[in-house]
Amino acid sequence: MSTLAIVGLHGTMGSRVNALALTQPWIDRIVGVTLTPLHDHEYASLEDIKEPIDIIIDFSTSHQLESTLAYATKHHIPCVLATTGLTSFHEDLIAKSSEHIPLFVSANLSLGVALLKQLLSDSLHFLGNEIDIDVVETHHTRKVDAPSGTAKLLANTISSITGKTMVTSYPESEVKDKNTFGVHALRLGNVVGTHEVHLSLGEEIVTISHQALSRDIFAKGALRAAQFILNQKPGIYTMENLLKEKL
C-alpha cells in the first residue's frame, strides 16, 4: 500500500487524479499540495507534509517543478511529471534529478497518444522524408501554451526521423520549404484535446489522429505511470516504456 501526494490537488487534472486514486487498491492514503489548503490532508507545500510519501504526481505548473524535484530528490521519492510548458532549464533539472530518483515524464499520459506517436514513427520510417507533413492540434480556449506539449512531442518525433524543422506559421508570400513542417494550434470552446498528423504523398494524404473525449484518460494514465514507476531504478521513463509493458 502506498501514500500518494498530488501537487496541484484542486486543479482540473489534480482533482480527477484524486477522485480516481480513491478507487485504487494499491493506494491507502492521499495527500495534496494546493494554494488553498482546506482539509487535514491538504498542504501549501510538499515541505509541510510530515508523513512519509511513496509517490508524487505533479499536475501543477512549470513554476512548481523546481521545488517538486528538490523535495523528491531530497527524500528519494519517485515522481510522475505531467506539467507542460517546460523549458530547457526544466529539462536540465529533470535530467539531474533522474540520476537520483525515477521520473516518469510525459506531456500527455494517454495510452492512445503513445500509440499515435508509435504509429507516426512507423509511418515516417516507411514513407521516408520526401513527404509533406503538417500537425494540427485543437484544445479548449483556457489552455495557455501553444503549441501543446503533445504537439511538440509529435514534432520531435517528426524532426528526429525526417530532419525537417518545425514552424508554427508559413510566410505569406513564399512557398512552403520542403525541409519544414507546420504545427498549428486551434483554441475552440471546451475541446479536451485533438491531435492530427497529415502526411501528404502527393496524390494522397494519410491522416493519423487522436481525440480525447474525457480528461479522465490523463488521470488514469498518471495513476498507471505512478504504479509503474514506483519500484523502478533512477532514470527517465516515458509513455513508450509503459506502452511496451502493455504490448
- Going by C-alpha positions, the residue among 167, 196, 197 that lies closest to residue 179 is 167
Domain boundaries, given as residue ranges, for the chain: 2-109+215-246, 111-212
Comparing 2-109+215-246 with 111-212, is the CATH topology the same?
no
**What single DSSP character describes residue 148?**
-
User: What is the CATH architecture of 111-212?
Assistant: 2-Layer Sandwich (3.30)
Return the active site residues.
Answer: 139, 143
Digit-coded pLDDT (tens) for 188-209: 999 999 999 999 998 999 999 9
d(CA 67, CA 80): 14
Owner of C-alpha cell 510566410:
171
Mean pLDDT over the full length of the chain? 92
Determine whether domain 2-109+215-246 maps to CATH 3.40.50.720.
Answer: yes
Sign, CA dihedral 42-43-44-47, equals: negative
Range with the poorest average pLDDT among 2-11, 15-24, 135-144, 235-244: 235-244
> Is a pLDDT exceeding 70 seen at residue 247?
no
Longest dimension (CA), the chain: 63
> Is a pLDDT exceeding 70 seen at residue 87?
yes
**pLDDT at residue 61, rounded to an integer:** 82
